[in-house]
């Protein structure tokens, strides 16, 4: 059992730490835990591997009964070295990406959890540097629809959902001295888009005095993600501060 656990950890590390040039890297699902009007949360997350660092900031608030609005920011940067067969030397490679989106939706609470449906959209970019001053810079737009289910009590948070994504690459700037495989991928992005993906995600958190320590994971199992240079994984951890405007108003009145 111990050897199986170590092997599983090694496989997960290898899958999530491969140095590849990506044209799309997804943020983890934003799964709000609001079940009443006035509830909200501010979340900060960090993830990555020895060569990559990603970060997210998520804001959610329920201004009306059964309704929530959200704001998501995602940024990623990666630096690694890659062998070039033509020059017989290693070159420095980089990935830089940012994404910002807004969304909203409705939720229905019950005694065993809260079901919700959210939708929204945003825009961003993914820039790749391939060494020897070669580069690609792509802008991307994304629309999404996301059903979720959450459970929470005095100390535990559990959430899961599926984000159905419509991804488009409206423009870009490409140095055609990059490798042919990367040129082919970018040309396919231009000709074959928009792309539809189903991204499965969830989180678990432990709540204490308004602060939740949370771990998040995302998987996009579409068989063609590597054909287009899409990153199918994301794992991160962070902290979430939960608040309730209605509770604060009640305390002021008391």
- Say what the pLDDT of residue 27 is: 96
Residue of 24, 28, 226 lying closest to 125 (CA atoms): 24
Beta bridge partners of residue 51, listed in sequence order: none
State which CATH number among 1.10.760, 3.30.1460, 2.40.128, 2.60.120 fits the domain covering 19-253.
2.40.128
Neighbouring residues of 198: CB distance < 8 A, sequence distance ≥ 6? 162, 163, 164, 165, 220, 221, 222
Rounded CA separation 77/173 (Å): 19
Q: Note the pLDDT tens digit of each residue in 151-204.
A: 999 999 999 999 999 999 999 898 888 888 888 889 999 899 899 999 999 999
Longest dimension (CA), the chain: 75
- Confidence bin at 4 (pLDDT 50/70/90): very low
- Confidence bin at 9 (pLDDT 50/70/90): very low
Residue of 124, 74, 125, 127 lying closest to 96 (CA atoms): 127
Rounded CA separation 122/105 (Å): 15
Neighbouring residues of 129: CB distance < 8 A, sequence distance ≥ 6? 92, 93, 94, 95, 135
- Confidence bin at 48 (pLDDT 50/70/90): confident
Residue of 200, 207, 191 lying closest to 240 (CA atoms): 207
Output the DSSP codes for 116-133: EEEEEEEEEEEEEEEETT
Q: Note the pLDDT tens digit of each residue in 79-128.
A: 877 666 556 667 778 889 999 999 999 999 998 899 999 999 999 999 99
Q: Are 180 and 148 in contact (CB under 8 A)?
A: no
Rounded CA separation 190/186 (Å): 6
Rounded CA separation 23/40 (Å): 32
The domain segmentation of the chain, as residue ranges, is 19-253
């Amino acid at each position: 059992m111990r050897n199986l656990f170590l092997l599983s950890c090694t496989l997960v590390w290898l899958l999530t730490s491969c140095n590849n040039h990506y044209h799309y890297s997804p943020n983890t699902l934003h799964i709000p835990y609001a079940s009443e009007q006035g509830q909200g949360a501010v979340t900060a997350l960090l993830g990555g591997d020895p060569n990559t660092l990603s970060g997210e900031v998520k804001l959610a608030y329920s201004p009306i009964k059964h309704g929530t609005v959200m704001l998501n920011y995602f940024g990623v940067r990666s630096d690694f070295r890659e062998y070039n067969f033509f020059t017989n030397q290693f070159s420095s490679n980089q990935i830089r990406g940012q994404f910002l989106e807004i969304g909203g939706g409705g939720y229905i609470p019950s005694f065993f959890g809260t079901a919700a449906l959210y939708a929204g959209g945003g825009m961003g970019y993914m820039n790749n540097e391939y060494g020897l001053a070669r580069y690609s810079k792509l802008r991307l737009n994304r629309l999404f629809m996301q059903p979720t289910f959450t459970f929470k009590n005095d100390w535990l948070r559990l959430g899961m959902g599926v984000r159905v994504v419509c991804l488009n690459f409206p423009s870009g700037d490409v140095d055609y001295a990059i490798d042919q495989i990367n040129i082919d991928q970018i040309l396919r992005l231009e000709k074959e888009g928009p792309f539809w993906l189903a991204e499965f995600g969830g989180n678990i958190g432990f709540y204490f005095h308004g602060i939740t320590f949370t771990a998040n994971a995302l998987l996009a199992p579409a068989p063609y993600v590597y054909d287009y240079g899409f990153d199918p994984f994301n794992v991160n951890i962070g902290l979430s501060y939960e608040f309730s405007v209605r509770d604060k108003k009640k305390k002021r009145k008391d």
